[in-house]
Amino acid sequence: MQSSDLGNREQGKIWHRRPSPATQQGIIVNIIHTTTGYHSKTIRFLNVAFDCSGEYLLAGDHQGNIYVFDLVSNRFNLVQRTGQACTALAFTLRRKTEFLVALADYSIKCFDIATKELVSWMRGHDSSVSSISVHGSGRYAITCSTDTAQLWDLDTFQRKRKLNVRHSVGIQKVFFLPLSNTILSCFRDNSIFAWEFDTLHCKYQLPSPIDGSSLHYKVFAITRDGRILAAGGKSNHLHLWCLESKQLLRIIQMPTKVRAIRHLEFLSDSFDGGSNQVLGVLSQDNIMRFINISTCKLLFDLGSHEEGISMAAMSPSGRYIAAVMENGSLSIYSIQALTQEVNKPPPPLFKVIEDSKSKLETNKLTMRVTSRTSERPWKAKKGKIQSKALKPPLEVSYEDKENELPEGLNKKRLQALLKGFGEYPAKYRMFIWRALLHLPENHLAFNSLLDKGTHSAFAHLQNEYPIKSRKLLRVLQRTLSGLAHWSTIFGEMPYIPLLVFPFVKLFQNNPLICFEVVATVIINWCQHWFEFFPNPPINVLSMVENILAHHDKELLHHLMKHNITSQSYAWPLLETMFSEVLTREEWLKMFDNIFSNHPSYLLMVVAAYLICSRAPLLHCNRKEDFEYFFHHRNHLDVSVVIREAYHLMECTPDDIHPVRMLEDFASLTKGQYPIFNKYPKFIVDYQSQERERIRQEEIEYLRER
């Protein structure tokens, strides 16, 4: 095991030899901090916290030293000396260089790791702060002590709310649920309440567990999608709650040597959609056991009776575990190395014991662990698990099924997240989009389109669109060719490169996803666009005009007065999918909302863009000015446009509402792509034949020369 002593250094390398966690019990490095002098001593680490990326680790010791460890660049830096022990840390603020530290004098301070300066000092607690929960936006934080929970605005560092409880009740933990605007409060009397963040209106209370399974909750963990709550306390029982159904899903009974659970945390995985399956359980014996809550397997465990763990944190990226050891050192583990280590004796058996009476009463599962002591507890386990897959039958409404998305996501929950933040987290945006669009990922069908080669309509694409990046040009050419081979009309549409380009730029490293996103956009958000080919979709543009006529007659009259038709003010926005008038960040934010709503929302966005731009448009008098406006970026807040579009969706009369004329979202079919023939076939065929005739004449002419 490689060990690193920080000593009196304020910065430097963390490790000096390349780590080999696969051969070192999963440990990348063990960090200690000793001071030299007449009485040399070890300074104990107390708390750790990862940043949003999972690449930077914040660690505080009992003397108040705060270190930042860059686990990718192998560097550490002493960023603050607070002079007193820290009781909690948070490193996921909106300003990435800032962090919060709760100190022994009950205060909370905000520091900047770049400038090493104090940003703010917050007071208000009368006892030690045990936890800090940061909202997903990074703008708010909840600090929690035994008698008080306080909500802070991290932009102004002012206290917004304060929750006081009677000493006889006491607070166990108050924290934000991920991907939502919900606060969960857990009290010492075992009551758990969910509150709306904006209004602090009580949304629901979890029911009390049945007699015989009750335990005094002390520690909690929540999955990244905010659906499953794990709770434990002074018992070897572990409760799993479904927050959507407000039901106790199951009870996991740990081995008899586990008498109390001190810490719980779910292990992040980039590919599980936030429905984390691996739960770390730290018990009173200072061993942290990692179990799969679905397959009932003990995957691996960390620590031992000789080298126990006092607390641990998991990186959001799912790459590292940082464990503060009982001896005061800090161990960094590689999750990849731990999960790949399988050369071990058979694992404990999780037996699912079904009690028919309690099943009828509570729809729960009890899982018991009957195992022998592992000789090397840190390593992974393998083997068959004797278990029954008995999931409690939850009552799911038709609406719930309609809102279910792939990868365990839920459309209603995502829309609630969008309402709160205005956009999806950048880190998970592509993952969420793929789920919202139900992409089938038809590899064979896509490859068969690629095998047809470059379509003749796009053989000289570089002449018309001289893109600097050859890679980007090549991906654009492939995507356009695939569309043209899929349906003939896409080889004849002059504006198809403009429509496709923003998606190509976004998904240039994944051609299959790029093609399927574009195809999904075409069949859903481009409904009725091709019925008047080769002319613009007059029927669709008239929908926008009707909306504008109802909500802003003055603006429409001004446009008509200067002979500016919907082909001039609406079509440039639609055919380019707003890519000419928005920055990348604005465009992504807008399409977060477009993809999360009915296809008619796109037309509402066009109308909203016009209404929000009425001031500069009313000052335009020349046709050239109007044309310039709709082809260039303008100083317009896209958030205002998005809010206005939602307003139009709600208050537009039914007789002119596009939702009446457009069909609901339909995903691409699995295996093979659907037939697309919603266009005047005779015109497209004639143009295609003419283009092929001209191409053959050019080839013949060149051959004769």
User: For residue 83, with 0-12 CB atoms within 10 Å meaning exposed, 13-18 middle and 19 or more buried, which class applies?
Assistant: exposed
Q: How would residue 602 be classed by pLDDT, with cut points 50, 70 and 90?
A: very high
Judge whether 370 lies within some domain.
Answer: no
Q: What is the pLDDT of residue 83?
A: 92
Higher pLDDT, 389 or 679: 679
| Residue 377, pLDDT above cutoff 50 | no
The pair phi, psi for residue 327, each rounded to 5°, is -85, 5
Summarize pLDDT for 182-236 with one digit per residue, the tens.
999 998 888 899 988 888 888 899 987 665 456 788 999 999 888 899 999 888 8
Q: What is the pLDDT of residue 396?
A: 41
Split into its structural domains, the chain has a count of 4
CB-CB contact of 308 with 326 (8 Å)? yes
Summarize pLDDT for 521-563 with one digit per residue, the tens.
999 999 998 888 778 899 999 999 999 999 999 999 999 999 9
| Pair 62, 173 in one domain | no
Summarize pLDDT for 443-487 with one digit per residue, the tens.
888 988 988 888 888 888 888 888 888 888 989 999 999 999 998
Summarize pLDDT for 115-159 with one digit per residue, the tens.
999 999 999 898 999 999 999 888 999 999 988 899 999 988 999
| Pair 604, 681 in one domain | no
Assigned token pair, 264: 């719980």
To which residue do tokens 């950048």 refer? 426
| Pair 564, 553 in one domain | yes
To which residue do tokens 């958030």 refer? 639
To which residue do tokens 């106790």 refer? 248
- Report the CATH number that the domain containing residue 595 is assigned in CATH: 1.10.472.80
Q: Residue 315: name the closest of 54, 89, 29, 28 by CA.
A: 54
| Pair 45, 69 in one domain | yes
Q: Is 102 helix (H, G, I), strand (E, B) or coil?
A: strand
Q: Residue 172: name the closest of 159, 191, 152 by CA.
A: 191
Kindly report the pTM of this predicted structure: 0.54
| Residue 569, pLDDT above cutoff 80 | yes
- The HSE-up count of residue 30 (CA atoms within 13 Å, CB side) is 17
Judge whether 384 lies within some domain.
Answer: no
| Pair 87, 192 in one domain | no
Assigned token pair, 53: 């990326």
Judge whether 149 lies within some domain.
Answer: no
Q: What is the pLDDT of residue 373?
A: 38
Summarize pLDDT for 29-46 with one digit per residue, the tens.
999 998 876 566 889 999
| Residue 371, pLDDT above cutoff 50 | no
CB-CB contact of 559 with 617 (8 Å)? yes
Summarize pLDDT for 379-401 with one digit per residue, the tens.
444 433 333 333 443 444 434 44
| Pair 607, 689 in one domain | no
Q: Rg of the chain's alpha carbons, rounded to an integer?
A: 30
Summarize pLDDT for 639-671 with one digit per residue, the tens.
999 999 999 999 999 999 999 999 999 999 988
Q: How would residue 271 be classed by pLDDT, with cut points 50, 70 and 90?
A: low
Q: Residue 207: name the closest of 75, 415, 364, 9 by CA.
A: 364
Q: What is the pLDDT of residue 406?
A: 61
The angle subtended at Cα 225 by Cα 587 and Cα 175, nearest 5°, is 105
Higher pLDDT, 403 or 508: 508
Judge whether 267 lies within some domain.
Answer: yes
Judge whether 395 lies within some domain.
Answer: no
Give the percent of the chain with pLDDT over 90.
45
Report d(CA 338, CA 310) in Å as an integer.
19
The secondary structure of the chain in percent helix, strand, coil, rounded to multiples of 5, reads 30, 25, 45
Summarize pLDDT for 65-123 with one digit per residue, the tens.
999 999 989 999 999 999 999 999 999 898 999 999 999 999 999 999 999 999 999 99
| Pair 175, 266 in one domain | yes
| Pair 556, 507 in one domain | no
Judge whether 423 lies within some domain.
Answer: no
- Report the CATH number that the domain containing residue 220 is assigned in CATH: 2.130.10.10
| Residue 351, pLDDT above cutoff 50 | no
| Pair 212, 113 in one domain | no
Q: Which helix (H) or strand (E) holds 228?
A: strand 228-233
Neighbours of 280 (CB within 10 A): 25
Last residue of a domain, one of 341, 362, 397: 341
| Pair 485, 550 in one domain | no
User: For residue 498, with 0-12 CB atoms within 10 Å meaning exposed, 13-18 middle and 19 or more buried, which class applies?
Assistant: middle
Rounded average pLDDT over 266-294: 82
| Pair 475, 558 in one domain | no
Judge whether 244 lies within some domain.
Answer: yes
To which residue do tokens 């550490």 refer? 76
Judge whether 351 lies within some domain.
Answer: no
| Residue 342, pLDDT above cutoff 60 | no
Last residue of a domain, one of 253, 276, 302: 302
Report d(CA 135, CA 132) in Å as an integer.
10
Q: What is the pLDDT of residue 252?
A: 86
| Residue 520, pLDDT above cutoff 60 | yes
| Pair 592, 557 in one domain | yes
Structural domain that includes position 602: 536-661
**Mean pLDDT of the residues in the chain:** 84
Higher pLDDT, 534 or 1: 534
